[in-house]
Structure 1
Amino acid sequence: MKLMFASDLHGSLSATHQVLERFEHSGAGWLILLGDLLYHGPRNPLPDSYNPAEVALQLNRFADRIVAVRGNCDSEVDQMLLNFPIEATWQQVLLNERRLFLTHGHHYYPDKLPPLRAGDVFVYGHTHIPQAEKRQDVYLFNPGSASLPKGGYPASFGMLRDGELQVLSLQHAEPIVQASL
């Protein structure tokens, strides 16, 4: 099963279009959104082509293929615009051989993990910095930010396919970081 991950769109219509175009061509069955979808937040600059209402409309086209969690910039009013649930602060996806624990990254994060078993994958956003690595006996996976990347990284998204976690450049789909499961 192929899964695509995106985080921290922050209301950027251009980033949303790029993410959805990558999703349509990825062959992924599900798009997992890790929060901070519509609002830019008080600590962030306005992203390119800021248009939260239109971002919601574009995401809603894929509502039946989206699994999402709530970020620290998401609010109850955002849920009123979206046709898929975003109010859970975490969710779990069970695969044959492991569990993906999905969260935004402001309640649970790499230094404060939920209870996980060996081989599980902790999937989060929030930092806007890509990560794909095994730490002790769990994997840490962050697709970076599609709209407001930090740390000198390009805008990015994540993929899980063929036992490989990858963070890819949104513009060129070139790997930034990766880890084998």
Structure 2
Amino acid sequence: MRIAIVSDTHKSMSSIRKVCEKIERENPDLILHLGDVMEDADVMEAILGREVRRVPGNCDYAYGMNHALFIQVEKIGIYAVHGHEQGVKRSLRPLAGEAAGKGAKIALYGHTHVAREEDLGGVHLLNPGSAALPKNGQEKSMAFLKIRGKEFSFDIVPL
């Protein structure tokens, strides 16, 4: 299974179009939007003609909406959040602990606008970076996650 992961599109139509072009070329099985701005997932759905699963970010008004997704793909648990509630700008340990507590081997997050991948406490953490407003001199980016059985790999791709 292949999953497209995008975060922090911040209403940038040019970035949303680039993300959709990559998704159309790669044709993943699932698409996740990790917030900021969550309504951009609606725009992506209109362009792509398919569902975009999402979690709200700190710039989203999502009262009563679940701020995390847990998805079981084959034999891998995936925990997806925006990351502001877990304090990912200070430390990834709270997110890793929360994900492990849910039984996830992978935790996906955004919020920092910095693409990053690392292992912590038995959890593989991935931030796809920002599709619209990257920081630390990085390029605009998104990611693809490939899962086969108990094996997985990530590709952070520039837009």
TM-score interval (norm. to shorter): 0.7 to 0.9
Once residues 42 and 81 of structure 2 are traced to their aligned partners in structure 1, the CA distance between those partners, rounded to angstroms, is 23
In the TM superposition, residue 60 of structure 1 has moved relative to its aligned partner by 3.3
Which residue does 2:31 correspond to in 1?
31
Which residue does 2:93 correspond to in 1?
111
In the TM superposition, residue 123 of structure 1 has moved relative to its aligned partner by 0.4
Aligned residue pairs, count? 147
Quickly say closer, same or farther: Cα 1:146–1:22, change in 2 above 3 A: same
Q: 2:74 aligns with which of 96, 111, 122?
A: 96
Which residue does 2:52 correspond to in 1?
66
Once residues 111 and 58 of structure 2 are traced to their aligned partners in structure 1, the CA distance between those partners, rounded to angstroms, is 8
Which residue does 2:109 correspond to in 1?
124
Helix, strand or coil for the counterpart of 2:15?
Answer: helix
In the TM superposition, residue 133 of structure 1 has moved relative to its aligned partner by 1.8
Once residues 121 and 42 of structure 2 are traced to their aligned partners in structure 1, the CA distance between those partners, rounded to angstroms, is 41
Once residues 141 and 115 of structure 1 are traced to their aligned partners in structure 2, the CA distance between those partners, rounded to angstroms, is 12
Quickly say closer, same or farther: Cα 1:57–1:130, change in 2 above 3 A: closer
Once residues 136 and 74 of structure 1 are traced to their aligned partners in structure 2, the CA distance between those partners, rounded to angstroms, is 30
Once residues 42 and 77 of structure 2 are traced to their aligned partners in structure 1, the CA distance between those partners, rounded to angstroms, is 30
Say yes or no: does 1:169 pair with 2:158.
yes
What is the aligned-residue identity percentage? 29
Which residue does 1:144 correspond to in 2?
129
Write the deviation string for residues 19-72 of structure 1: whole angstroms up to 9, x where unpaired.
01111111201110000026xxxxxxxxxxxxx8xx566323146421100000
Write the deviation string for residues 93-117 of structure 1: whole angstroms up to 9, x where unpaired.
1022221100000112313121516
Quickly say closer, same or farther: Cα 1:134–1:17, change in 2 above 3 A: same
Say yes or no: does 1:14 pair with 2:6.
no
Structure 1, unpaired ranges of 5+? 39-51, 78-85, 171-181
Amino acid at match of 1:152: G
Quickly say closer, same or farther: Cα 1:135–1:154, change in 2 above 3 A: same
TM-score (norm: length of structure 2): 0.82
Indicate if the aligned counterparts of 1:159 and 1:165 stay in contact, CA closer than 8 A: yes
Q: How does 1:79-90 map to 2 (within 5 A)?
A: 87-90=65-68
Once residues 164 and 72 of structure 1 are traced to their aligned partners in structure 2, the CA distance between those partners, rounded to angstroms, is 28
Indicate if the aligned counterparts of 2:100 and 2:122 stay in contact, CA closer than 8 A: no
Backbone CA RMSD of aligned residues: 2.3
Amino acid at match of 2:94: K
Q: Which has more radius of gyration? A: 1
Amino acid at match of 2:135: K
Quickly say closer, same or farther: Cα 1:70–1:119, change in 2 above 3 A: closer
Which residue does 1:46 correspond to in 2?
none
